[in-house]
Every structure is written in structure tokens, then in C-alpha cells.
């Protein structure tokens, strides 16, 4: 039986490119000539390695750092999970879902694993005893060992800050959360908060809580009582931003006339808040699909690790002022 390596040799491209072309990866950008060359080489060699039958034999673990209850509180990780599930279903791959509260009980040896969220060294060591191939989503614990899919936080906030400055909004505050790993209670570096601190010298309008509607509400209430409000706020999640909008409404502070708000994630509800929320769109479903494609490449023979950085997009709605 022919192999990916043989198809790559005949077509003159890498094994990774062959795998992605045959698996019809929509994120791959190659010329039509290259694509045709690979398909013709696979047909000539009667390559069967990525057939539906083989995918049906694959069983992959999806390791979630949230419990089922936590996942429902903020749909960010839920959407990533659904992206993985949809891609796996289309390819006939069996997924074994393991939420954090069941990890020690339900973890089992399979063909590979996708780990969603932030895990510490103790947890990663456990995973390595069960899986030869692991792809991390929304974290990159060791790019030299593991494939990963992460967000381009820096350019995301750069675009948001540039937009606020075009609106002549330079007095900006930050409302966000912090996350900790489970096993060792280790603080996870929050890149949005760090980028904000690097850009703005005044840190007196930074408010930190949890990534939840309730926390966003309480943090904004506290900011209002302090009488040290900024003219605009970058809010680290749309869930928090919903709470922020409610607190401002209750206090008679108009958005965006008095304060502009920019959220993060572009969850479905953000288009239906009052006013509709300007936010940074994150392509969570695509992150999940990309993670599965990376895992398949490793299973199919790719040896070099890859860290894929997914871009974001600023979605302008009514919670920020109109440009002059």
C-alpha cells in the first residue's frame, strides 16, 4: 500500500501539504497546479491512507479544562468544542469527550487528543502517558513538543485601540478576568490585560474579576462608585460586557454617548444587547477544526510541530461612538 511520503515524493511537495490537500483542508493556500499534482500522484499510486474507512477507525479524545457547568457560563469554549465535533463528524472520526470533572475517571488511551483550555505541567504529564499526539487549543504549553491553535491577541487589541483613538478616545479602562489551572492553581498569563498595561501608562482604571456576566456587572458597579470612570472600556469577554452594559444602564450612564464599550469573542447575544455590542470576533469554530486537522497530520506522519495563530476581526456596532 502506498504512503503519504511516497505521494509527497512523486508530487514534489511536503507530506503535510499532501495530507491537507487530500483531506480537503479549506485553510490551505496552494496553487491549482500543486493541488492537481498531488491528486494525480495519489491516484497513480492508488493511495488509500485517508479514505473514509480509515477515518472511521480513528478514536480521538477531546480533553476539556472546563466542567459541563462552567462551559455553559461562557460559550467561548463551547463553540470551540462544537467546531471539533462538526469536523470530526464530517470525517467519520469518533470523539470521546472528557470534561474536567471526569478526566481522572474517563481518560483512556486513544489515537490522539485535543486539549481545550489551559493545563499545567502535572496535567500535561498525565496526558502524555495516554497519547502520543496532543494538540492544544487556546494555549501553547511547549511549541517544540505540541501542536497548538491560539488567538492573535496582540493584533486584536491593537485594532481595537486604534479604533478608539480614531474616535478621539484616549481615556480607556480595562475590565477583565484571570484564570488558574486546576491541578496546581497556577495563574495563566492574561495577554489582553498585559497588552493593555503595555499600551496605557494609567493603570488606575483596570478592574479584574471573573469571566462572567455577574462579574462584569459588579466590576462596573464598583467603577461607577469610585467616580473614576474612563471614557471607554475594553472588556475581555462579551459575557462580562453584557454585565457592564446592565450596570451602566441601571446607573443612567448612556452607551455610547457617555462611555464606549468594546467586548471580546462576538458571541451570538452580542448583536442583540442594548445597544448592540462592538466586539472583537474570534473564530472559535475554525479554531476547533484547525486543531483536528493538525492532529490528523501528526497521526499521518508529520514530525515538525506547528503553532497556528488565528486572526480576529473588529466588529463595529452601536456601543462605540460614531466616527466624526
Q: Is 9 found in the same domain as 70?
A: no
DSSP category for residue 182: S
User: Can you give the residue range of the structural domain that contains 211?
Assistant: 153-283
Q: Is 197 found in the same domain as 124?
A: no
317 found inside a domain: no
Q: How many helices (H) and strands (E) does the chain have?
A: 13, 14
What b/e string do you get for 254-270 counting C-beta neighbours within 10 Å, with b at 16 or more?
A: ebbeebbbbbbbbbeeb
251 found inside a domain: yes
Alpha-carbon distance of 113 to 136, in angstroms, equals 9
Q: Is 173 found in the same domain as 142?
A: no
Q: Is 227 found in the same domain as 190?
A: yes
264 found inside a domain: yes
Q: Is 173 found in the same domain as 126?
A: no
324 found inside a domain: no
Strand, helix or coil for residue 118? coil
320 found inside a domain: no
127 found inside a domain: yes
Alpha-carbon distance of 290 to 294, in angstroms, equals 6
The CATH number that applies at residue 78 is 3.40.50.2300
What b/e string do you get for 282-300 counting C-beta neighbours within 10 Å, with b at 16 or more?
A: bbbbbbbbbbbbbbbbbbb
Tell me the pLDDT of the chain (324 aa) as tens digits. 578 888 888 888 888 888 888 776 766 777 878 877 887 788 778 776 544 434 557 899 999 988 887 777 768 889 999 999 999 998 889 999 998 888 878 899 999 999 999 998 989 999 999 999 999 999 999 999 999 999 999 999 999 999 999 999 999 999 999 887 766 666 666 889 999 999 999 999 999 999 999 999 999 999 999 999 999 999 999 999 999 999 999 999 999 999 999 999 999 999 999 999 999 999 999 999 999 999 999 998 899 999 999 999 999 999 999 887
78 found inside a domain: yes
- The total number of structural domains that make up the chain: 3
Q: How far apart are the first and last CA of the chain?
A: 66
Q: Is 274 found in the same domain as 194?
A: yes
CB 219 within 8 A of CB 211: no
Q: Is 176 found in the same domain as 279?
A: yes
Q: Is 39 found in the same domain as 26?
A: yes
Amino acid at each position: 500500500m502506498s504512503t503519504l511520503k511516497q505521494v509527497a515524493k512523486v508530487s514534489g511537495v511536503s507530506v503535510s501539504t499532501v495530507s491537507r490537500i487530500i483531506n480537503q483542508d479549506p485553510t490551505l493556500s496552494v496553487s491549482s497546479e500543486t493541488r492537481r499534482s498531488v491528486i494525480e500522484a495519489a491516484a497513480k499510486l492508488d493511495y488509500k491512507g485517508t479514505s473514509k474507512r480509515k477515518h472511521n477507525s480513528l478514536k480521538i479524545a477531546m480533553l476539556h479544562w472546563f466542567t459541563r457547568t462552567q462551559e455553559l457560563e461562557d460559550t467561548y469554549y463551547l463553540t470551540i468544542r462544537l467546531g471539533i465535533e462538526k469536523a470530526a463528524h464530517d470525517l467519520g472520526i469518533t470523539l470521546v469527550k472528557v470534561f474536567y470533572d471526569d478526566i481522572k475517571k474517563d481518560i483512556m488511551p486513544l489515537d490522539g487528543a485535543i486539549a481545550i483550555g489551559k493545563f499545567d505541567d502535572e496535567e500535561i504529564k498525565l496526558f502524555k502517558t495516554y497519547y502520543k499526539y496532543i494538540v492544544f487549543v487556546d494555549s501553547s504549553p511547549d511549541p517544540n513538543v505540541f501542536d497548538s491553535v491560539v488567538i492573535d491577541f496582540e493584533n486584536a487589541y491593537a485594532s481595537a485601540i486604534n479604533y478608539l483613538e480614531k474616535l478621539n478616545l484616549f481615556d480607556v479602562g480595562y475590565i477583565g478576568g484571570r484564570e488558574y489551572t486546576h491541578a496546581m492553581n497556577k495563574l495563566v498569563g492574561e495577554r489582553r490585560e498585559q497588552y493593555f498595561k503595555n499600551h496605557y501608562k494609567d493603570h488606575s482604571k483596570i478592574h479584574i474579576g471573573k469571566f462572567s456576566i455577574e462579574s462584569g456587572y459588579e466590576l462596573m458597579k464598583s467603577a461607577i462608585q469610585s467616580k473614576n470612570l474612563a471614557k471607554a472600556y475594553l472588556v475581555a469577554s462579551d459575557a462580562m460586557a453584557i454585565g457592564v452594559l446592565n450596570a451602566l444602564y441601571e446607573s443612567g450612564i448612556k452607551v455610547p454617548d457617555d462611555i464606549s464599550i468594546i467586548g471580546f469573542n462576538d458571541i451570538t447575544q452580542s448583536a442583540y444587547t442594548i445597544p448592540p455590542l462592538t466586539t472583537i470576533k474570534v473564530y472559535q469554530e475554525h479554531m476547533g477544526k484547525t486543531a483536528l486537522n493538525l492532529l490528523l497530520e501528526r497521526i499521518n506522519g508529520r514530525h515538525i510541530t506547528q503553532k497556528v495563530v488565528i486572526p480576529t476581526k473588529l466588529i463595529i456596532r452601536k456601543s462605540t461612538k460614531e466616527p466624526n
